[in-house]
Amino acid sequence: MSFKSGYRDHFAREHLPAEGDQPVFDLTRYSYPERLNAAVELTDAMVDRGFGARTALIGPDQTLTYDDLAGWTSRIAQALLEDFGLVPGNRVLIRGPNSPGLVAMWLGVTKAGGVAVNTMAMLRKAELDYVVEKAAIGLALCDSRSLDELEACDAVPESLRIVTYDGSGKGQAEMDHVALAKDASLPPADTHRDDVALIAFTSGSTGIPKATMHFHRDLLIIADGYGKEVLGIQTEDVVIGSPPLAFTFGLGALAIFPLRVGAASVLYATAGPDELRDLIPKHRATLLFTAPLAYRALLASGDASPFATLRCAVSAGDTLPATTFEAWTTATGVPILDGIGSTEMLHIFISNRASDCRAGKTGRPVPGYTARIVDDNMNECPRGEVGRLAVRGPTGCRYLDDSRQFEYVQDGWNLTGDCFLQEADGTFCFVSRADDLIVSAGYNIAGPEVENALLSHAEVMECAVVAAPDPDRGFIVEAHIVLHDASRAGEDLQKGLQDHVKQMIAPYKYPRRIRFIEALPKTTTGKIQRFRLRDA
């Protein structure tokens, strides 16, 4: 069947990897009509199925039913097309903390035929500049509470138009006023299932973010696969969690999965352990999504009664320590599922099941995916031998105009950069990361990016950043710094450097430990020997 895009702006398709450079896709389990708009399937189609009166999204001051969400996203789509100059296929940056409004903006962009580029509210100017340039973005939808760094971007006002929305639910921003007057009955964009719907950025081990591209069908595949077949998500479920919707883990868990089945999602701008301990019983949440560190913090009070409504918990963003698994299940009796996913694959592709979850085990492939352990020559390793994790299935890596496609995809397989082993019974077990990416409390932090921020400080002559083990966060960012003037070393400068990094890049990336040293260990050719810093 010939491909007929619903877009007039073909930037995304023109920057896809060549077909032969993409992984092998196995779509035998997942069949969708040629004309497909994922946002319509998650809103209007749910109303047509009789879910209109059911609650879809819950915020601190706003609750939307499926009727509300379908109508509001259609109005947003029309406002984008008629008032804000969106041409189907244009990339639209979306910025803000988790809220029902953020989900509505994402769905409205998708419904209008835009390519959504979701970004965290914590990103700073330099990071946003890169995203805007890489994805050739001309329009941004920004929560009015998160304007500062976006307004400072180099593209403003020359080429980037910023439209505000009210993430607090009060309807006092520009998009809210314009969309209110639109006709919710006008048809959405006539998109193809293989039109790019989402560009998701991920920080790599080199420190330069990679832009991954996902089709309309991909958004439904993760719900129909992992959401339905692994989690068994049902209409009666209420989901809650901490991951930002800008992460594909959060977008799937807190938006796509529940909306696909008529369930409800609880979305708060701040959803740390203290908040979750109150919100879970308040909203009688049944599915919890967060990182291992948060599960440890949730148990800190010694009171498991707030988690009585949960039927399942999901841990991702970092490997789940066996001690955390055992502590959680013992205290709550609620199964906790470890899993591995990636932005390149869109969501989790190997996971435990509620009926078979064991400490220290990642699990088995999600239906539709195949995984194997390979050596450096792509030969499959014997069971029990550590090697590189290779996976393929209905989703896979498509970088936007990036030579690193050839590193991630080899012989039709996606190589995630993780070292695993497969046990005799077929269970996959995480061993370590294969690169220098620092995974701290569920966040991926590229060491070189932190180094660049430190080096921009006048006091720093040289530095190297490594991962240091930490009992609470798994790993923390540890910076080894050589100063221009060694006599300046001390607690005051340490705090000053940490604050400097927080201003340069997202605050969670700052070095939690700083060591001032006389010289960095190097090879004879001048290359820093980071392994010696880690060993020390």
Domains of the chain: 63-190 (3.40.50.980), 438-535 (3.30.300.30)
The residue written with tokens 């991630």 in the block is 408
How many beta carbons lie within 10 A of that of residue 129, not counting itself? 18
Single pTM value for the model: 0.87
Q: Print burial letters for 215-252: b (CB count within 10 Å at least 16), e (below 16).
A: bbbbbbbbbbbbbbbbbebeeebbbbbbbbbbbbbbbb
- Please report the pLDDT score of residue 448 as a whole number: 77
Q: Rounded distance, CA 311 to CA 263, Å?
A: 14
Residue for token digits 């909203």? 283
With beta carbons less than 8 A apart as the criterion, state whether 287 and 226 touch.
no
Question: Concatenated DSSP letters for 252-309?
Answer: IIIIIHHHHHT-EEE--S---HHHHHHHHHHHT--EEEE-HHHHHHHTTTS--GGGTT
CA–CA gap between residue 189 and residue 379 (Å, rounded): 45
How far is the C-alpha of 490 from the C-alpha of 492, rounded, in Å?
6
The Cβ of residue 47 has, within 10 Å, a number of other Cβ atoms equal to 19
pLDDT at residue number 204: 44
Cis-peptide into 281, omega within 30 deg = no
Mean pLDDT by 10 residues, the chain (536 residues): 87 96 97 97 98 98 97 98 97 97 98 97 92 97 96 91 94 95 93 98 67 98 98 98 94 98 97 95 97 87 95 88 90 96 96 92 96 96 94 98 95 93 94 76 84 90 91 93 95 97 95 95 67 84
**In whole angstroms, what is the distance from residue 482 CA to residue 455 CA?**
10
Tokens found for residue 91: 């990339």
293 contacts: CB under 8 Å, gap ≥ 6: 318, 441, 442, 472, 473, 474
CB 240 within 8 A of CB 283: yes
Q: CA-to-CA distance for 220 and 160, rounded, in angstroms?
A: 30
Give the pLDDT score at 442: 86
Coil, helix or strand for 387? strand
